[in-house]
Amino acid sequence: MPIIAAIPDEERQLMRKEAQQTYDKNHARRLIAMLMLHQGMTVTDVARLLCAARSSVGRWINWFTLHGVEGLKSLRPGRAPRWPVADILQLLPLLVQRSPKDFGWLRSRWSTELLVLVINRLFDVTLHRSTLHRYLRQADMVWRRAAPTLKIKDPHYEEKRLVIDQALAQEQTAHPVFYQDEVDIDLNPKIGADWMPKGQQKRIATPGQNQKHYLAGALHSGTGRVHYVSGSSKSSDLFISLLETLRR
C-alpha cells in the first residue's frame, strides 16, 4: 500500500524542476523525499538515503498530505515581525520631508531619537532607536548634511505684494513708504547632518554673506533717498536707531 497518494505526472515534473533550481536545500530534500515515496520506497529507506530522521520524513508526509507541494516550502527564518513595518516604512519618507517644528518640537533637524518618539506615539509601539535605524536604511534614508540655498519662494508673496502696491498708490506725504532691509550676514544657520531620502539633499536658506558687520537701511520710495545705520551686533537697538534716523 503506498504511503502517499499518487502524484500526477505534471506535478512530479514540476517538483523535480523545483528541487533542481531551488537554493533552499531543505526544500529540495522534502521534494525528493515525496518523489521517492511515490516510487514505492519505504520511510526507512528514504530517511537513510537523505540522511534524515524517520520522524522528519513523517512530518514531511503530513505536510504534503495536508497542504500539497506548498506545504513543503521552508518558512522564513526568525520570528514574525512584531511592528507594523510596512506602515512605518511608508511614513518615514513623509516625516523627514517635514520639519520637527511642524509636529510641535523645538528642533530644526530630525534625530533618530526624535523620530523614535514620533513613531512610537503614532503607532503606539515601543520601538528602539537601533531598530528604527535599520528601518531608515530600508526606506533609503541617509544621514547627511543639508545644502544651503537661496531664493526660496515665499508662499505669501502675492498677498504682501498687493499690500505694498496699495500703499504705493496712496499719498506718501503723511505716510511715506520705505523699503527696509538688513545686512544680517553673521547669522548663517548651523547646518548639521539630518535624515533625508537617499540621493536627495535638503536645502537650508542662508543670508548669503559671511561678514562680521551689521547694517540696517531704508529706501524712501518717493524720493529715492537711502537712510542707514550700522552696529556691531544684531539687536533691537539697531532697528531702533534706524527708526530714529527716519524721524529726523
- Res. 4: pLDDT tops 80: yes
Q: Are residues 183 and 242 in the same domain?
A: yes
pLDDT (average), residues 149-158: 79
Residue 191 has pLDDT above 90, yes or no: no
Cβ proximity of 228 and 242 under 8 Å = yes
pTM, two decimals, is 0.40
* Whether residues 225 and 173 fall in one domain: yes
The pLDDT of residue 64: 92
The mean pLDDT value of the chain amounts to 85
Let me know if residue 211 belongs to a domain: yes
Structural domain that includes position 63: 9-72
- Residue 17 pLDDT exceeds 90: yes
pLDDT of residue 212: 66
Same domain flag for 208 and 234:
yes
- Are 169 and 223 in a shared domain? yes
| Residues 106, 127 share a domain | yes
**241 in the same domain as 161:** yes
Q: Is the pLDDT of residue 82 over 90?
A: no
Residue 3 lies in a domain: no
Q: Is the pLDDT of residue 211 over 60?
A: no
16 belongs to a structural domain: yes
Q: Is the pLDDT of residue 100 over 80?
A: yes
Confidence of residue 19 (pLDDT cuts 50, 70, 90): very high
Q: Would you say residue 174 has pLDDT above 90?
A: no
Shared domain for 167 and 242, answered yes or no, is yes
| Average pLDDT of the residues in 180-190 | 68
Taking the C-alpha atoms of residue 100 and residue 202, their distance in angstroms, rounded to an integer, is 14
Residue 15 confidence (pLDDT): 93
Residue 1 confidence (pLDDT): 56
234 in any annotated domain: yes
Distance CA 234, CA 213 (A): 9
Task: Please count the structural domains in the chain.
Answer: 3
Distances (CA, A) of 42 to 38, 118, 125, 202: 10, 59, 51, 67
